[in-house]
A and B are shown apart, each in its own frame.
Chain A
Amino acid sequence: MDVLLREIRPSADGIAEYRDVEVSADTLTLGSAPDRSIQVLGNNVGAEHAELVATSGGMTIKCRRGYSVLVNGEELSSATLSSGDIIEIGGNRLMLVDAPAGFDHGIQIELDQDVDASVFEGAFRTDLYQSWFSMRSAAWTMSGLLIVLAFLLPMFLKGSGDGSFADSAWIPSDAFWTSGPLHPAHELAIGDDCRQCHVQNFERVQDAACLNCHERINDHVHTDTMAAISTLEPTPRCATCHLEHNEPEPHLVIRADSLCIDCHIDADQLSVAGSIESVSGFSETEHPAFAATLLKPVSSRAGTGLSFEWLEQSEAISSAVEMSNLKFPHDTHLDAELVTDLREGNPLGCGSCHELSLDREHFVPITMESQCVACHELTFDPTMPDRLLPHGQPVEVMFALEGQYLRKFSDPSVPQEAVVRRRIPDKDNSTRECVDTAFNCATQAAAEDIREQFTVRGCVSCHIVEEHADSEIYARYQVHPVRLATDYFAAGRFDHLAHQVMKEKTGDAACVACHGADQSSLSTDLLIPDIDTCLACHSDKPTPGRVTTSCIDCHSYHPFASDYTATIETSQP
């Protein structure tokens, strides 16, 4: 619509001057700002004070929030105007007049001629505080957004988990509260489902949440033999040692020694007092000397012979003696001058007999058949080199020897002379002559050979043989059974593979450095190192030239459930 704005101002000679401006717009802006359609200056005139909207019948005036105008002397914030109405705003008068020819509306404007400089200055927005930006509303807006988006929505909408709209991706979830990334395995299993572990608000994660999945974990002590750890105070929670969201630590286990030492520093205070020693660190003075778990044979008379029972016994390494009942000089076997591999002719090494298990700590059990027999063959009949004496079955050995002589003395295809004159090494041939029946000759010759096997050159080389001279031949020789310990430190762990390279020593030199096998001539020597061997290279505190070691490098809070300890477990009544 076309509007004619006629400004009337008095001139010096008293005759009013006119100035007409034509505006084509439906809405006219009114205020002190220079960009208004009608700029009016004056006290309490806002920069964007009001708007005049042209309608077909007249005009309406609408003030901004907080502003008002006088319409025909009445203070209003909005009004419908018709011809003749007078608007007063800060000393300025606007009057709607009948539309002049060619226009839709006419407004006669009389501006206040007494505007002073301060009012003039107020017409402009020259300070940031006059802008639309309000610190108060900005603070309220941001605070409100934070409370709703970062607290209320995650708290009360998310986690209801009913698949409703609250679970849509755009609604912020309690994952926004995470204090750091989860362990990758937990991330995979749990993801953003915080409530899997954080069951109760304001309550620390309870062990039950962990045990939901980790149901097969062993408690710190065996509940069937000792009081459960839960009777101790304060009760260690899973999270005492296993901290989640523990950025940037990639492991879930806190390796701090204090977690162990806090309780173990005074063994008398523990519920297992008496069975363990106090520990305050890893040094000669802070850690007890090692005690090895050994197998001790206990014999008792049973009928004409002995019966053996094996007991597990923990003994200080400094005084412990190996009681495997096996005769084995390590030094001889490692001496390249004396012993070489029968097939290749190479000197023997540690690995010739000791094969590391997959757990890198233990070794495959040593048996006659898998390790010794390669050199120590049990052949007994030169004419039949494939026949072997049955190892571990003394009576069967005797039967085998008897059978051999019976066959030889009674075989018609074998000349008696040859049998009788059979040359036996180191024996006077004359004593071997036999003029009796074939059966008697055979049993006599067998008895002599059996005696030699069990007491001079065969079994007795490696075994302790007890001779009961009065007993009949089959019960006369009793071989003491051999049991080799498989795990000297059931409660400790050790990585043999990692120790294959120790400083400048590698391979067998590394083995010998700790076990000293090349200096051991007796199988009663316990070749298990004591704490001082470990301390030569390890320390519990960062020390130059030492590798820092924490409690859990060797010990486990949760007992192992491996085969090695299982044997101990099942031996319990």
Chain B
Amino acid sequence: MIHVGILRYANNRYLWWSLALVVVSAILYSTQGGFQPANGGTWQGYVLGTVGALLIVWLLMLGIRKRSYSSSLGSVAGWTSAHVYLGTALLIVATLHSAGQLGWNVHSLAYLMMCFVIFSGFYGIYTYINYPHSMTANRSGSSRSALFAELFTLDNRARELGAKSPDDINVAVRSAVERTAIGGGVYAQLVGKDQSRFIRPSSGADSDGGTPVSNRDQQPVIDFIAGRLPKTNKIAETELLQELLEIFCRRQAVLRRVSHDIRLRGRIRIWLLIHIPISVALLIALVIHIITTFIYW
């Protein structure tokens, strides 16, 4: 699997590189002390800071490497593996550079932004390891497009059947199909409740009024059709309603998978929406950190 391949790339080569970097940094850090406290201002602090800054710049270059398909600078998988391990090492290198000193200043801001980027990356690794499997299981091996195609077919069939049904059923069926909410904004995709609605006809078969009500998980419209079933006395109409009922139950199953798929893919991507912009801003913060350090040398 690709996601595991990144972590175990080339026999954990970059894991060992990173461990070596961490050990060397820790040794360098420990040579501070005595009468001069450890901080970013000692020569060891400057070395650790330089290493950290170069790491940040290199880690950001993954974004460039990914887009340059003709590059001969190693495979993207190798880069990604090194990105993961060296990014983790950066957390320790930068912490040693700062000697754990935090304050209300641009330096700590850069450090916290870096932590945010790295921890969002950790979450990203977690999702890459766990979610692809859940997503495949949720879709039962098929694709999202296949789910939508099935939904589209079911919708069209529901519309057809609705057109042949009594008006109240037709209103309910059409509105349920049209007002089925799938996805939406960031919040809706990740945690939002199902905002689907349908127009529940007031009462009576020939009523032309109705009220839009929640159709969460499609259960209300199923309940409505099922509730109408005993009130029909024509066999054709009963068969129609039974098929509609079946269609909506299948729609419900498909929609559950679709929304779960959207939620999982959202989780797999949301960290990138944080990881990438903040890492770009981190580069700016890093430059300000370095410039201001030397403006007020």
- Give the interface centre of A121, A245, A248, A254 by most chain B CB atoms within 10 Å: A121
**A247 x B281 contact (CB < 8 A):** no
**B39 x A247 contact (CB < 8 A):** yes
**B39 x A125 contact (CB < 8 A):** no
Contacts of B264-281 to chain A: CB distance below 8 A: 265-266, 269-270, 272-273, 276-278, 280-281
How many angstroms between the C-alpha atoms of A256 and B34 in the bound complex?
7
**A151 x B292 contact (CB < 8 A):** yes
B106 is an interface residue with CB less than 8 A from chain A: yes
**B178 x A39 contact (CB < 8 A):** yes
What distance in Å separates the Cβ of A246 from its nearest Cβ neighbour in chain B?
A: 7
Given the interface pairs A125-B183, A256-B34, the reply to whether A247 lies near B101 with Cβ below 8 Å is yes
B226 is an interface residue with CB less than 8 A from chain A: no
Interface segment out of the listed A126-134, A228-236, A277-285? A126-134
Residue-by-residue, is B244-271 near A (CB-CB < 8 Å gives 1, otherwise 0)? 0000000000000010001001100110
How many angstroms between the C-alpha atoms of A539 and B266 in the bound complex?
64
What distance in Å separates the Cβ of B31 from its nearest Cβ neighbour in chain A?
A: 13
Residues of A within 8 A of B145 (CB): 117-118, 121
**A117 x B149 contact (CB < 8 A):** yes
What distance in Å separates the Cβ of A103 from its nearest Cβ neighbour in chain B?
A: 16
What distance in Å separates the Cβ of B98 from its nearest Cβ neighbour in chain A?
A: 10
Number of A-B residue pairs, CB cutoff 8 Å, is 165
Given the interface pairs A131-B186, A131-B189, A142-B277, the reply to whether A120 lies near B178 with Cβ below 8 Å is no
Given the interface pairs A39-B178, A255-B35, the reply to whether A147 lies near B297 with Cβ below 8 Å is no
The closest CB in chain B to the CB of A120 belongs to B152
How many angstroms between the C-alpha atoms of A183 and B260 in the bound complex?
57
How many angstroms between the C-alpha atoms of A550 and B34 in the bound complex?
10
**B281 x A142 contact (CB < 8 A):** yes
**B284 x A147 contact (CB < 8 A):** yes
Q: Is the interface of A mostly helix, strand, loop or mixed?
A: loop
How many angstroms between the C-alpha atoms of A201 and B293 in the bound complex?
10
A220 is an interface residue with CB less than 8 A from chain B: no
The closest CB in chain B to the CB of A33 belongs to B184
**A129 x B109 contact (CB < 8 A):** no
How many angstroms between the C-alpha atoms of A127 and B262 in the bound complex?
7
A150 is an interface residue with CB less than 8 A from chain B: yes
Residues of B within 8 A of A127 (CB): 183, 189, 262, 265, 269
How many angstroms between the C-alpha atoms of A116 and B104 in the bound complex?
57
**B103 x A180 contact (CB < 8 A):** yes
Residues of A within 8 A of B180 (CB): 34
How many angstroms between the C-alpha atoms of A34 and B296 in the bound complex?
57
How many angstroms between the C-alpha atoms of A255 and B34 in the bound complex?
9
Contacts of B83-120 to chain A: CB distance below 8 A: 99, 101, 103-107, 109
What distance in Å separates the Cβ of B36 from its nearest Cβ neighbour in chain A?
A: 5
B295 is an interface residue with CB less than 8 A from chain A: yes
Number of interface residues, chain A, beta carbon within 8 A: 59
**A177 x B105 contact (CB < 8 A):** yes
A377 is an interface residue with CB less than 8 A from chain B: no
The closest CB in chain B to the CB of A147 belongs to B284
Given the interface pairs A147-B284, A180-B103, A198-B296, the reply to whether A142 lies near B35 with Cβ below 8 Å is no
- Name the contact of B148 in the complex, choosing from A39, A117, A143, A194 (C-beta under 8 A): A117
**A143 x B101 contact (CB < 8 A):** no
The closest CB in chain B to the CB of A249 belongs to B37
- Name the contact of A150 in the complex, choosing from B41, B182, B285 (C-beta under 8 A): B285
**A177 x B295 contact (CB < 8 A):** yes
A170 is an interface residue with CB less than 8 A from chain B: no
**B36 x A120 contact (CB < 8 A):** no
B10 is an interface residue with CB less than 8 A from chain A: no
The closest CB in chain A to the CB of B180 belongs to A34
What distance in Å separates the Cβ of A555 from its nearest Cβ neighbour in chain B?
A: 14
B40 is an interface residue with CB less than 8 A from chain A: yes
A135 is an interface residue with CB less than 8 A from chain B: yes
Given the interface pairs A179-B107, A201-B295, A249-B36, the reply to whether A34 lies near B182 with Cβ below 8 Å is yes
**Could you give 9 example pairs across A and B, Cβ below 8 Å?**
A34-B178, A39-B178, A120-B155, A121-B145, A121-B149, A179-B296, A246-B37, A246-B41, A249-B37
Known: A126-B258, A126-B262, A179-B40. 13 other contacts (CB 8 A): A17-B163, A116-B152, A121-B148, A125-B183, A131-B185, A142-B277, A142-B280, A174-B296, A201-B295, A246-B39, A247-B39, A248-B39, A550-B35
Interface residues of B (CB under 8 A from A): 34-37, 39-41, 99, 101, 103-107, 109, 144-145, 148-149, 151-153, 155, 163, 174, 178-186, 189-190, 195-196, 258, 262, 265-266, 269-270, 272-273, 276-278, 280-281, 283-285, 288, 291-297
Interface residues of A (CB under 8 A from B): 11, 17, 19, 33-35, 39, 116-118, 120-121, 124-133, 135-136, 138-139, 142-143, 146-147, 150-151, 155, 174-181, 194, 198, 201-205, 243, 245-249, 254-257, 550
Q: Which 9 A-B pairs have the closest CB atoms?
A: A255-B35, A142-B281, A138-B277, A117-B149, A139-B280, A121-B148, A139-B277, A126-B183, A117-B152
